[in-house]
Structure 1
Amino acid sequence: MKYFIIAGERSGDLHGSNLVTAIKMADKEAEIVGWGGDYMEAAGVNILMHYKALAFMGFFEVLMNLSKILGFFKVCKKQVLDYKPDAIILIDYGGFNMRLAKWAKSQGFKVFYYISPKVWAWNQNRALKLKQNIDRLFVIFPFEVDFFKKFDYEVEFVGNPLFDAIATFRPNPDFLSQNKLNDKKIIALLPGSRKQEVEKMLELMVATKKQFPEYRFVIAGVGNLSKEFYQRFLTDDISLVFDQAYDLLSHAEAAMVTSGTATLETALFGVPQVVCYKTSPITYSIGKIVIRVPFISLVNLIAQKEVVTELLQDELTPENIALEIKMVLNNSERRKEQIAEYQRIRSILGSTGASATTGKRIVEILNNSRLANH
């Protein structure tokens, strides 16, 4: 069968690659093209558009780039029509993918969604659009099943794909020596993957360095940004590693993390953290009006209480970041509490196999529907 898959950012690309591997195991004849990145390409997807071109975030930023985004949408529709897939698989990336789902459904394509857009966070009525336009929605957080039930929408909870990514991770035994990080204990900086957020976050994170002379700061760099881009943040005591976030978290004492998937990854590695988030004043003002959840980090949302401190917008200052990091270093009570709560979060999320389950289910549903049509 033929599949067209769309992931618009790095984490979607990673989970998409594991999903593709599972589809190919269940469907030996699978042909897969789509939008994504290096991970999906390595898994055998013919990449028609790299997610680097699609990295717009925030209400204001999206509005500023609307014509560009509409242009991408037009290109994508043409590619789908030319390819005529048996199924379109959408991964997260709500703004673009929900719009595409509506169009694809109107054209009679079978549409699957893996990793639901965060419709529970804001504009919750979008759940009705998902119900209308998606043949099957696979969700990765247990609380999403109950949320969608309110809209009389049965979804499938498949577990969390981060467990897959972490389970397949093999630590590099030479990570410290190869990156010349043997001299001091490490505080990890995970500033995100989009240029505009990384710039904003790193300026604030590195400004705390003088308060931690006995530690080395290590930035988790991402391959879609150049070494030159990070260069101005580096000093004798601030290092950079590229695409080695899991190795970095395996050695870190604490972490400063930009809100997003990385907060949950940091928790699953058992590293105490402070969550950082800052966007344009316009985007933040709109967000305050429309966002319907009490927390911004996945860690707190899953725990349904404050496990990690979230420093947002004006609260995100070097002084506040440093204060929070100091509170989770050494053998403090706060540190022990966070690590204990991380264990509880692990048990809530289940175990490995989210991508394998989803891939198998997609092929199964397509085969059943083919049988029913004959």
Structure 2
Amino acid sequence: MDTPLTNMPTSSRHVMIVAGEASGDLHGANLIRALLEKNPGITVSGMGGRELASAGVDILFDAARIAVVGVFEVLSHLKDILLARKILKSEMLNKKPAVLILIDYPDFNMLLAKQAKALGIPVLYYISPQIWAWRKKRVHTIARLTDTVATILPFEQDFYRQFGYEVEYVGHPLLDTVVPKASPEQFKQSLNIPEENVLVGLFPGSRTKEIKTLLPIFLESAKHLHDHMQSPITFILPQASTIPRDLLEANGLSDLPADLDLRVTTEDRYTVMAACEAAVAASGTVTLELAITKTPTVICYRVTNMTYLLGRLLIRNLRFFSLVNLIADQEVLPELLQDQVQADNIVQHLTRMLEDDVYRKNLDDHFTRIHEKLGNAGASGRVADLVLEMMGHGR
């Protein structure tokens, strides 16, 4: 059965791309834009969200329907996950793209890679799964089922090399995207925030579960910090496109005291980050974005107890859970885990970030070194060159 499938003619100008989460959707979109700029005749289909759609990708399945975290959350979305896999496999069989681009999302994507291998479709894995954190033996599966792996973290190349595999380190794509569109002064003016006000950002995440778990605690922290600070303070809450306003209202926003100045904004997130003098954020890509904008941040991670206990069994030797500290290989930013995510703890760290000048200067120096470790801008273009080479169009 495999032989006739493998001998199917490849569509030499068609590419498939699969991204399962918001960050993958963004980085995939920038990759596709770079690819189409280099070769406008290429067509692209796959799974993703509005970013990939805006880049010109024919979206076969909306990734938001299966963007969940945790074993038990995955089980509740199993029907959609199976449907997405069926649709994408059918697309591979019918169009046989010249290259399949997979972005992170390993449990879903490795099954697609296996199907692509059976069809003779070259596979590029962009943004390698974090197998250095858990299930390290998966490195052999990735090497067997992919043709090229493009890594974005500086230590990943050495990780693969210790197992005898060579990968392409392309630098971090956030260096291409984390560019504020306005100065902190301009941002304050746009929201009529007094120039002397201290700005503190609240970044509770872009998923419903994160909002329900973290936003009430973040808002309680804002109340405590407001009572503690001598200087006037404004809190900024960026509203993710995936989060409706009524969800924010239902999780504490409607219960704030009248004298607490909190602004919900949908303005450019990187402008918001750069304007903040400190922030509290859910663990994830946002913490690295904040580090690139040199914003001192308290990092919080809180999931269901069952998901956490299962994770502890799988991840035993990891010193840190945030990308910022993993890249720095030391605790640069404070990490609060599970029951540590409490308003008093958050306020303690935020107060130090706002009031201790020596501490702030040390953080700034660490941010500079982290930025240097991430490599140079232009990751999207470098990955686009890899795709073209795999398609036979040369670099």
With normalisation by structure 2, the TM-score equals: 0.89
Q: Equivalents in 1 of 2:88, 2:290: separation in Å? A: 34
For 1:170, the equivalent position in structure 2 comes to 181
Deviation at 1:200, TM superposition (A): 0.8
1:83-118 deviation digits (Å, cap 9, x = unpaired): 321111011122211221122212221111110111
Q: Equivalents in 2 of 1:296, 1:278: separation in Å? A: 11
Deviation at 1:187, TM superposition (A): 0.6
The one of 139, 145, 151 aligned to 1:139 = 151
Are 1:230 and 2:243 an aligned pair?
Answer: no
CA contact (8 A) 1:19 1:358 kept: yes
Letter in 2 for 1:265: E
The one of 189, 198, 212 aligned to 1:199 = 212
Letter in 2 for 1:199: K
Q: Based on CA coordinates, which of the two structures has the bigger radius of gyration? A: 2
For 1:283, the equivalent position in structure 2 comes to 307
Letter in 2 for 1:249: M
1:106-154 deviation digits (Å, cap 9, x = unpaired): 2221111110111111111111110010110000011000111122111
Deviates more, 1:89-98 or 1:66-75: 66-75
For 1:372, the equivalent position in structure 2 comes to none
Identity %: 37
Are 1:219 and 2:237 an aligned pair?
Answer: yes
Matches within 5 A, 1:78-157: 78-157=90-169
Q: Equivalents in 2 of 1:243, 1:31: separation in Å? A: 31
For 2:362, the equivalent position in structure 1 comes to 337
Q: Equivalents in 2 of 1:66, 1:39: separation in Å? A: 24
For 1:315, the equivalent position in structure 2 comes to 340
Letter in 2 for 1:119: I
Q: Equivalents in 2 of 1:127, 1:288: separation in Å? A: 20
Matches within 5 A, 1:34-113: 34-113=46-125
Deviates more, 1:182-191 or 1:228-237: 228-237
Deviation at 1:170, TM superposition (A): 2.4
Q: Equivalents in 1 of 2:14, 2:90: separation in Å? A: 16
CA contact (8 A) 1:8 1:35 kept: yes
CA contact (8 A) 1:223 1:243 kept: no
Q: Equivalents in 1 of 2:70, 2:280: separation in Å? A: 21
For 2:280, the equivalent position in structure 1 comes to 256
CA contact (8 A) 1:257 1:273 kept: yes
Deviates more, 1:105-114 or 1:75-84: 75-84
Q: Equivalents in 2 of 1:231, 1:243: separation in Å? A: 19
Deviation at 1:67, TM superposition (A): 3.6
Q: Equivalents in 2 of 1:351, 1:265: separation in Å? A: 15
Deviation at 1:171, TM superposition (A): 2.3
Paired residue secondary structure (2:336): strand
Q: Any unmatched runs of 5+ in structure 1?
A: 370-374
Q: Equivalents in 1 of 2:306, 2:67: separation in Å? A: 18
Q: Equivalents in 2 of 1:338, 1:47: separation in Å? A: 41
CA contact (8 A) 2:66 2:77 kept: no
Deviation at 1:50, TM superposition (A): 2.0
RMSD: 1.8
Q: Equivalents in 2 of 1:182, 1:147: separation in Å? A: 48
Report the count of equivalent residues. Answer: 368
Paired residue secondary structure (1:302): helix
Deviation at 1:310, TM superposition (A): 0.4
Change in Cα spacing, 1:325 to 1:303, as seen in structure 2 (3 Å) is same
Q: Any unmatched runs of 5+ in structure 2?
A: 1-12, 227-231
Deviation at 1:331, TM superposition (A): 4.1
Paired residue secondary structure (1:6): strand
CA contact (8 A) 2:60 2:87 kept: no
CA contact (8 A) 1:17 1:40 kept: yes
CA contact (8 A) 1:222 1:243 kept: no
Deviation at 1:243, TM superposition (A): 5.5
Letter in 1 for 2:217: L
Deviates more, 1:310-319 or 1:236-245: 236-245
